């Protein structure tokens, strides 16, 4: 089944609002109609969302805006958190959930990831659910079991239709921001294992339609090898998303 690729840029905690305008405008300046073959998403810090949306909306460049995190409640006494209605109000259509940095540094558990995914899907927003193993887990030989358990936990309680709307991003923790990438064979093996797990949960047809991304030091020089993998449908990009030329080159690679 042909799946539309996704190239999503996770800016992490980089770019002030002023800088976000420059970077999003730089990306948008590269837009050409071939990009319509790809879902292109910019995920800036939440304080930048409105500015980035305004730039992209003005240009009508068919690039969407995503958040890096969200709370599952719609409002209330949750100091420092941001809700789905707030994200929607600023034009956000996507949200990253369960990034390993949130799991490791901010105590995000599988149960919290699941609540966020459920709330997003129920609201009609598109979730990019991050999963991935540490080097210790990989060296112990249980990377696939660990990652597939994360997938099951993230999608628990969703209807088949709801689960099918999610995107999974496989990001081996040892490859994030380290310059060390998984090999395309490792990425493909894990993406295939994730798809098989999703198939157990929601059936073959829906599993074949789900997009599975690779993330971890993906850049223009190595993107084509990942994008050529049968079960890899795009990338969740960190460092290379902070340079408009590099990010545009990744979208171009996915547009072929």
Q: Which residues of the chain form contacts with ligand G3H (CB under 6 A)? A: 10, 99, 171, 176-177, 215-218, 236-240
Report whether 238 belongs to an annotated binding site.
yes
Q: How many Å apart are CA 251 and CA 256, to the nearest integer?
A: 9
Report whether 11 belongs to an annotated binding site.
yes
Catalytic residue status for 30: no
Q: How many Å apart are CA 112 and CA 124, to the nearest integer?
A: 19
CB of 215 to ligand G3H, least distance (A): 4
Q: How many Å apart are CA 107 and CA 85, to the nearest integer?
A: 24
Report whether 10 belongs to an annotated binding site.
yes
Asked if 236 and 96 touch (Cβ cutoff 8 Å), the reply is yes
**CB closer to ligand G3H, 43 vs 82:** 43
CB of 132 to ligand G3H, least distance (A): 9
Q: How many Å apart are CA 92 and CA 41, to the nearest integer?
A: 10
CB of 96 to ligand G3H, least distance (A): 7
Chain residue whose CB lies nearest ligand G3H? 238
Catalytic residue status for 99: yes
Q: How many Å apart are CA 137 and CA 95, to the nearest integer?
A: 27
Report whether 12 belongs to an annotated binding site.
yes
**CB closer to ligand G3H, 148 vs 172:** 172
Specify the residue for token string 């209605």: 85
**CB closer to ligand G3H, 131 vs 163:** 131
CB of 159 to ligand G3H, least distance (A): 27
Number of C-alpha atoms within 13 angstroms, CB side, residue 246?
A: 17
Q: Which of 99, 108, 133, 188 is catalytic?
A: 99
List C-alpha distances in Å: 92 to 2, 51, 84, 163: 26, 11, 9, 20
Residues making up the binding site for substrate: 10-12, 177, 217, 238-239
Name the residues annotated as catalytic: 99, 171
């Amino acid at each position: 089944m042909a799946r539309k690729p996704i190239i999503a840029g996770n800016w992490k905690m980089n770019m002030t609002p002023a800088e976000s305008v420059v970077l999003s405008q730089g990306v948008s300046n590269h837009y050409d109609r071939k990009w319509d073959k790809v879902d292109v998403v910019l995920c800036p810090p939440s304080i930048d969302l409105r500015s980035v949306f305004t730039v992209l909306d003005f240009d009508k460049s068919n690039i969407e805006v995503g958040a890096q995190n969200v709370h599952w409640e719609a409002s209330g006494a949750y100091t420092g958190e941001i809700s789905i209605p707030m994200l929607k109000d600023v034009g956000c259509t996507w949200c990253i959930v369960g990034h390993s940095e949130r799991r490791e540094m901010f105590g995000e558990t599988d149960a919290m990831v699941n609540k966020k995914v459920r709330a997003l899907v129920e609201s009609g927003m598109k979730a990019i659910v991050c999963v991935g193993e540490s080097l210790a887990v990989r060296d112990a030989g249980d990377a696939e079991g660990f990652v597939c358990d994360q997938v099951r936990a993230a999608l628990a309680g969703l209807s088949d239709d709801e689960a099918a709307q999610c995107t999974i991003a496989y990001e081996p923790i040892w490859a994030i921001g380290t310059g060390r990438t998984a090999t395309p064979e490792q990425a493909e093996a894990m993406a295939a294992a994730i798809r098989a797990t999703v198939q157990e949960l929601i059936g073959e047809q829906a599993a074949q339609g789900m997009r599975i991304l690779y993330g971890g030091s993906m850049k223009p020089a190595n993107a084509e090898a990942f994008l050529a993998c049968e079960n890899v449908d795009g990338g969740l990009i960190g460092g290379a998303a902070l340079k408009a030329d590099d990010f545009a080159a990744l979208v171009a690679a996915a547009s072929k």
